[in-house]
A and B are shown apart, each in its own frame.
Chain A
Amino acid sequence: MAARTLTIDGKQVSADESATILEAATDAGINIPTLCHLDGVYDVGACRICLVEVAGVAKLLPACTTRVSEGMEVKTDSERLRKYRRMTLELLFAERNHVCAVCVANGHCELQALAYTLGMDHVRYEYCFPRWEVDNTHPLFGMDHNRCILCARCVRVCWHIEGAGTKNVSGRGARSQIISDLNQPWGTSDTCTKCGKCVMACPTGALFDKGATVSEMERDRTKLEFIVTAREKKQWIA
Chain B
Amino acid sequence: MSKRIVIDPVTRIEGHAKISLFLDDAGNVSDAEFHVVEFRGFEKFCEGRPYSEMPGITPRICGICPVSHLLASARAGDAIMAVNIPPAADKLRRLMNLGQIVQSHALSFFHLSAPDFLLGWDTPQPRRNVFGLIAANKDLARAGIRLRQFGQEIIEILGGRKIHPAWAVPGGVRSPLSDEGRARIRAWLPEAFTTTQTAFDLFRKVMDSHKREIQIYGNFPSLFMGLVEPDGTWEHHGGKLRFTDASGSIIADQLDPQKYFDYIAEAVQNSSYLKSPYYSPLGFPDGMYRVGPLARLNVAEQMGTPKADAELKKFKKLGRGAVTSSFLYHYARLIEILASLERIELYMEDPDLSSEDLRADAGINSLRGVGVSEAPRGTLFHDYTVDRDGLLRKVNLIVATGQNNLAMNQTVAQIARHYIKGASDDIPEPLLNRIEHGIRCYDPCLSCSTHAVGQMPLQVRLIGPDGALLREVSRG
A interface list, Cβ under 8 A from B: 101-102, 104, 124-126, 133-134, 136-137, 142, 187, 210-216
Contact = CB atoms under 8 A, between A and B. Distances in A.
B251 interface: no
Given A102-B57, A133-B48, A134-B48, A214 B389 contact: no
Given A101-B60, A133-B48, A137-B389, A214 B53 contact: yes
A142 to B, nearest CB: 6
A213 B52 contact: yes
B61 to A, nearest CB: 12
29 contacts: A101-B60, A102-B53, A102-B56, A102-B57, A104-B53, A125-B1, A133-B48, A134-B49, A134-B50, A134-B391, A136-B50, A136-B389, A136-B391, A137-B389, A187-B389, A210-B50, A210-B390, A211-B50, A211-B170, A211-B361, A213-B52, A213-B53, A213-B55, A213-B166, A213-B169, A214-B55, A214-B56, A214-B166, A216-B174
A172 to B, nearest CB: 24
Contacts of B361: 211
Given A124-B1, A125-B1, A212 B52 contact: yes
Contacts of B49: 134
A211 B390 CA distance: 9
Contacts of A137: 389
Contacts of B170: 211, 213
A187 B174 CA distance: 28
Per DSSP, chain B at the interface is loop
Nearest to B364: A136
Contacts of B389: 136-137, 187
B222 to A, nearest CB: 37
Interface extent on B, as a size class? 20 to 34
A131 to B, nearest CB: 9
Contacts of A124: 1
A104 B169 CA distance: 12
A221 B56 CA distance: 26
Shortest beta-carbon contacts, A-B, top 9: A214-B56, A214-B166, A136-B389, A102-B56, A102-B57, A213-B169, A211-B52, A137-B389, A136-B391
Per DSSP, chain A at the interface is loop
A102 to B, nearest CB: 5
Nearest to A187: B389
Given A125-B1, A134-B391, A136-B390, A213 B48 contact: no
A165 to B, nearest CB: 24
A137 B56 CA distance: 21
Interface in B41-65: 48-50, 52-53, 55-57, 60
Contacts, number: 44
Nearest to A136: B389
B93 to A, nearest CB: 14
Contacts of B50: 134, 136, 142, 210-211
Contacts of B3: 126
Interface in B376-402: 389-391
Nearest to A125: B1
A173 to B, nearest CB: 20
Contacts of A104: 53
Given A126-B3, A213-B170, 15 more contacts: A102-B53, A133-B48, A134-B48, A136-B389, A136-B391, A137-B389, A210-B390, A211-B50, A211-B52, A211-B361, A213-B55, A213-B166, A214-B55, A214-B166, A215-B166
**From A102, A126, A136, A213, residue with most partner B Cβ within 10 Å:** A213
Nearest to B49: A134
**From A137, A211, A215, residue with most partner B Cβ within 10 Å:** A211
A145 to B, nearest CB: 11
A187 B363 CA distance: 14
B171 to A, nearest CB: 8
Contacts of B55: 213-214
A69 B391 CA distance: 52
A213 B77 CA distance: 11
Contacts of B174: 216
Nearest to B2: A124
Contacts of B169: 213
Contacts of A126: 3
Nearest to A185: B389
A134 B55 CA distance: 18
A203 B391 CA distance: 23
Contacts of A125: 1
A126 B1 CA distance: 10
Nearest to A133: B48
Contacts of A211: 50, 52, 170, 361
Interface in B140-179: 164, 166, 169-170, 174
Contacts of A214: 53, 55-56, 166
A216 B168 CA distance: 12
Contacts of A142: 50
Contacts of A216: 174
A125 B2 CA distance: 10
Contacts of A215: 166
A98 B269 CA distance: 35
Contacts of A210: 50, 52, 390
Nearest to B58: A102
A20 B7 CA distance: 49
B9 to A, nearest CB: 20
A134 to B, nearest CB: 6
Interface in B69-87: none
A48 B389 CA distance: 35
A195 to B, nearest CB: 20
A215 B49 CA distance: 16
A208 B280 CA distance: 42
A238 to B, nearest CB: 26
A79 to B, nearest CB: 19
B43 to A, nearest CB: 16
A43 B49 CA distance: 32
A136 B60 CA distance: 24
Contacts of A101: 56, 60, 164
B129 to A, nearest CB: 30
Contacts of B52: 210-213
